[in-house]
Amino acid sequence: MKKLFAYLITFLFFTGCVIQEQFVFDKDGSGEYSMAFNMDQLMGMGGDTDSTKQVVDTVITFASFLDEKKDSISQLSEEEQERLELLRPMTFTMNMNDSLQKFDMRMSYAFTSLEDIDNFSEAVKAANIKELSDMGFGGAQNDSTQGETGSDPTDDLFGTANSYKTKFSAKGFSRIITTEAREKLIKEKDSTSEGDAFADAIIMRQVYKFPYKIKSVDNPNAKIHADFKGVEVEANMMQLNNNPDIFNIKVVFER
């Protein structure tokens, strides 16, 4: 699966798409974190040469898969079992319709507290280990690729959740880029052309939905939802490279 995302990420960086991060909170601090990709532009580039129109509507709930394969999993080492268990809160959804030129993918991760979000990128990596392939879940890379040096585009992308310090309570919400992530963006800015059309075409959107009504938001680029229980910030990759703080946000709830 991670290899599939690597291929698609390569395409999106050359065609453009919308990458949406979303938090949906419950009052007890639990909720759902998700990362979604809208790649309709990829479908539009395919032309109309194929008379067979494909429709894909797939939902994979890893908890069900792990329960189904529990006997096989019990034969693995304790370390391997722990890695696979990271997948339990995750759901993968893919919707593709050639006729409508629609292509969406979504990785959702249920959390009981914000500390669980640290496991999201590790869970994505776990979805690519050999043991899953052996049990009939395709998509794992060959073991020879594990541990190789070099940049994997999925590591940075799915590690986005760890690039921000996130806080939530009945009083308010905040999400601020970490010092390490900020310094990395500043360092990489020099290698990015100011006129990079590809960076302009990749839209990053961060969406937050709360169980409380919003009183105020400090980010001037934020859009408050009509019900006052949600807010979102959007920017392209070039804007993010030029301003690492563009997604920083503090929200105060009504009391």
DSSP letters for 213-252:
-EEEE--TT-EE-TTSSEEEEEEEHHHHHH-TTTT-EEEE
Return the number of other C-beta atoms located less than 10 Å from residue 248's C-beta.
17
What is the per-residue burial (b if ≥16 Cβ within 10 Å, else e) of 1-27? Answer: bbbebbebbeebeebbbbbbbbbbbee
Q: pLDDT, tens digit, for every residue of 32-64?
A: 999 998 877 655 555 554 555 678 888 989 999
The radius of gyration computed from the CA coordinates of the chain, to the nearest angstrom, equals: 19
Return the percentage of the chain with pLDDT > 70, whole number.
73
CA dist., res. 135 & res. 245, Å (int): 43
Question: What's residue 2's pLDDT?
Answer: 52
Q: Residue 145: pLDDT band by 50, 70, 90 thresholds? A: very low
Q: pLDDT, tens digit, for every residue of 184-212?
A: 888 887 555 455 566 677 899 999 999 99
Question: What's residue 208's pLDDT?
Answer: 98
Examine the pLDDT at 111 and tell me if it is beyond 60.
yes
pTM of this structure: 0.81
Q: pLDDT, tens digit, for every residue of 76-106?
A: 899 889 988 988 999 989 888 878 778 888 9
Q: Residue 129: pLDDT band by 50, 70, 90 thresholds? A: low
* Bridge partners of residue 105, in order along the sequence: 37, 94
Domain boundary assignment for the chain: 1-158, 159-255
Examine the pLDDT at 146 and tell me if it is beyond 50.
no
